[in-house]
C-alpha cells in the first residue's frame, strides 16, 4: 500500500537507495559485524550517490533539500534489509549531526567541515552521554574552560556511535558549571587534537556492525573558532534537535517491525509441522493477524508524526509519544515473530535473530521510555 506522505520523487529515491543497500551494504554486513565497525568505503560510496547531507546547501556538497522524508526512505531501506546497525552510520549523520552543523555553523565552519562530510571523506559523531549522565544532560561533568582563544576540554563520553571512526565530534561540555543547563556549550573536536583519545570499542549485545566507543578529553585545546552557535546555548540546541533524533529512532523501529513480520510470514509459509504449513494453524494465523494490525497502526501514527515534522510543527511531546510507543511495541512484535520460528529463531543465521538483538537498543537511546513518559506526563500536568 502506497503511503500518502510520499510523492513521486521519494519513490524514485527509494529505488536508488534500495539498490545501494542491496549492492553496497548487504554483501558486506557479515564482514562488518565481525569487525565491529563498517569501513570508510561505505561513507565514500554513499557520498558519491548523494546519500549524505540531504539538507546541506549544494555549495557545501549537500543535496540542498530540506525534506525529512528522504531521510526516512534511506532509514527504512537500510532497516528492512537487516542493516539496522548501519543506520547510525549514514542516517546518524543525516538525522542527528547535520542539523547541528547546518543550523549553527558559520560560513567558515561550513566550508571547513561539510564538504568532506557530505562526500564521505570524513565521519562525524555527536558526544552527549557520559558514564554518569545519560538522559539527564544537565548533569554532564565534561568541562571546557576558556583560555585565551582556546577552550581547554576535560572529561569523558561513552556510548558514542561512530566514536572509533569519527574525524569530527560535536561535544557537549559545560563552559560555566555554575549556570546549570545555561552553562552548556557545543564544541567541535577534530581528530588529531592533542589529548583527544579513543577508549575501547564497546561490545554490545546487538548492532554489531555499529562502532560504539568511549572518548576521553585530557586538556584538549579546542579553538574558539570551533564553538557551535553561542556559548551557553548548547542545552537548547540539544533539546531542539532531539525531536528529529527521536523521530529517526521511531522510523527505524517501525521498519524493524515490518521486517520481523516479513520474516515470520516467510518462515511460517515454508515450514511444515504435523502435515501442514505452520501458517495454516489457527493460532499462527491469529498471531500474524495481530502483528500485521499492530504494525499498520504504528505506521499510520509514525507517518502522521513525519508529516508534522516536515511541516515543522511536530512538538517535543508528540515526538516523545511516538518514540516510546513504537519502540516498546517493536519489542513485542519482534519477540512474537521470533517465537513463530521456534528454535530456529534462536539461530544467528536467521534474520529474525539479528532483528531481536538489534531492536533492544531502541527503548534506551535518544531518551529511555521512562524519560519519554516523563516528558509527556510533565506536559499534561502543566497544561492541566
List, for residues 332-356, the tens digit of each pLDDT value. Answer: 999 999 999 999 999 999 999 999 9
Asked if pLDDT for residue 135 goes beyond 80, the answer is no
Q: What is the mean pLDDT of residues 69-75?
A: 98
Residue 69: Cβ-neighbour burial (10 angstroms; 0-12, 13-18, 19+): buried
Asked if pLDDT for residue 1 goes beyond 70, the answer is no
Instruction: Supply the pTM of this predicted model.
Output: 0.95
List, for residues 39-53, the tens digit of each pLDDT value. Answer: 999 999 999 999 999
Ordered by start, the domain boundaries in the chain are 8-122, 125-231, 235-383
Asked if pLDDT for residue 132 goes beyond 80, the answer is yes
Average the pLDDT over each of 133-137, 172-176, 188-192, 368-372 and give the range with the smallest value. 133-137
Q: How sure is the predictor about 3, in pLDDT bands with cuts at 50, 70 and 90? A: confident
Asked if pLDDT for residue 320 goes beyond 70, the answer is yes
Selected residue with higher pLDDT from 179 and 295: 295
Does the domain at 235-383 match CATH 2.30.40.10? Answer given as no
CB 156 within 8 A of CB 131: yes
Asked if pLDDT for residue 384 goes beyond 60, the answer is no
**Residue among 130, 245, 318, 355 flagged as catalytic:** 245
125-231 adopts what CATH topology? Butyryl-CoA Dehydrogenase, subunit A; domain 2 (2.40.110)
* 48 catalytic per annotation: no
Asked if pLDDT for residue 134 goes beyond 80, the answer is no
Average pLDDT, the chain: 95
Architecture of domain 8-122: Orthogonal Bundle (1.10)
Cell reading at 98: 547535520
End-to-end, the C-alpha distance of the chain in Å comes to 40
- Residue 382's pLDDT is what? 86
Q: What is the mean pLDDT of residues 249-254?
A: 98
Q: How sure is the predictor about 139, in pLDDT bands with cuts at 50, 70 and 90? A: confident
Amino acid at each position: 500500500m502506497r503511503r500518502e506522505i510520499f510523492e513521486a520523487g521519494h519513490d524514485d529515491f527509494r529505488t536508488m537507495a534500495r539498490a545501494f543497500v542491496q549492492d553496497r551494504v548487504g554483501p558486506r554486513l557479515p564482514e562488518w559485524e565481525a569487525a565491529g565497525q563498517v569501513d570508510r568505503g561505505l561513507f565514500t560510496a554513499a557520498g558519491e550517490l548523494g546519500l549524505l547531507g540531504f539538507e546541506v546547501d549544494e555549495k557545501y556538497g549537500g543535496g540542498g533539500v530540506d525534506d525529512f522524508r528522504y531521510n526516512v526512505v534511506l532509514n527504512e531501506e537500510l532497516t528492512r534489509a537487516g542493516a539496522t546497525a548501519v543506520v547510525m552510520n549514514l542516517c546518524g549523520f543525516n538525522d542527528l549531526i547535520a542539523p547541528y552543523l547546518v543550523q549553527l555553523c558559520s560560513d567558515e565552519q561550513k566550508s571547513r567541515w561539510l564538504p568532506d562530510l557530505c562526500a564521505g571523506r570524513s565521519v562525524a559523531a555527536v558526544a552527549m552521554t557520559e558514564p554518569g549522565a545519560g538522559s539527564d544532560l544537565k548533569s554532564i561533568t565534561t568541562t571546557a574552560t576558556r583560555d585565551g582563544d582556546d577552550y581547554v576540554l576535560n572529561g569523558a563520553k561513552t556510548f558514542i556511535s561512530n566514536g572509533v571512526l569519527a574525524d569530527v565530534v560535536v561535544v557537549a561540555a559545560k563552559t560555566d558549571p555554575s549556570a546549570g543547563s545555561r552553562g552548556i556549550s557545543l564544541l567541535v573536536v577534530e581528530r588529531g587534537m592533542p589529548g583527544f583519545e579513543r577508549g575501547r570499542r564497546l561490545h554490545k549485545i546487538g548492532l554489531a556492525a555499529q562502532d560504539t566507543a568511549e572518548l576521553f578529553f585530557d586538556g584538549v585545546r579546542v579553538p574558539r573558532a570551533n564553538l557551535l552557535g553561542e556559548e551557553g546555548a548548547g542545552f537548547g540546541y540539544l533539546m531542539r534537535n532531539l525531536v528529529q533524533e527521536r523521530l529517526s529512532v521511531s522510523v527505524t523501529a517501525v521498519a524493524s517491525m515490518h521486517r520481523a513480520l516479513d520474516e515470520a510470514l516467510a518462515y511460517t509459509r515454508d515450514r511444515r509441522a504435523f502435515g501442514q504449513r505452520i501458517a495454516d494453524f489457527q493460532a499462527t494465523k491469529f498471531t500474524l493477524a495481530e502483528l500485521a494490525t499492530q504494525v499498520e497502526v504504528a505506521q499510520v501514527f509514525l507517518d502522521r508524526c513525519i508529516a508534522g515534522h516536515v511541516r515543522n510543527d511536530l512538538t517535543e511531546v508528540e515526538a516523545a509519544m511516538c518514540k516510546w510507543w513504537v519502540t516498546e511495541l517493536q519489542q513485542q512484535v519482534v519477540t512474537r515473530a521470533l517465537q513463530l520460528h521456534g528454535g530456529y529463531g534462536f539461530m544467528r543465521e536467521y534474520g529474525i535473530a539479528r532483528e531481536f538483538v538489534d531492536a533492544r537498543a531502541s527503548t534506551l537511546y535518544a531518551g529511555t521510555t521512562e524519560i519519554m513518559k516523563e516528558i509527556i506526563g510533565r506536559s499534561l500536568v502543566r497544561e492541566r
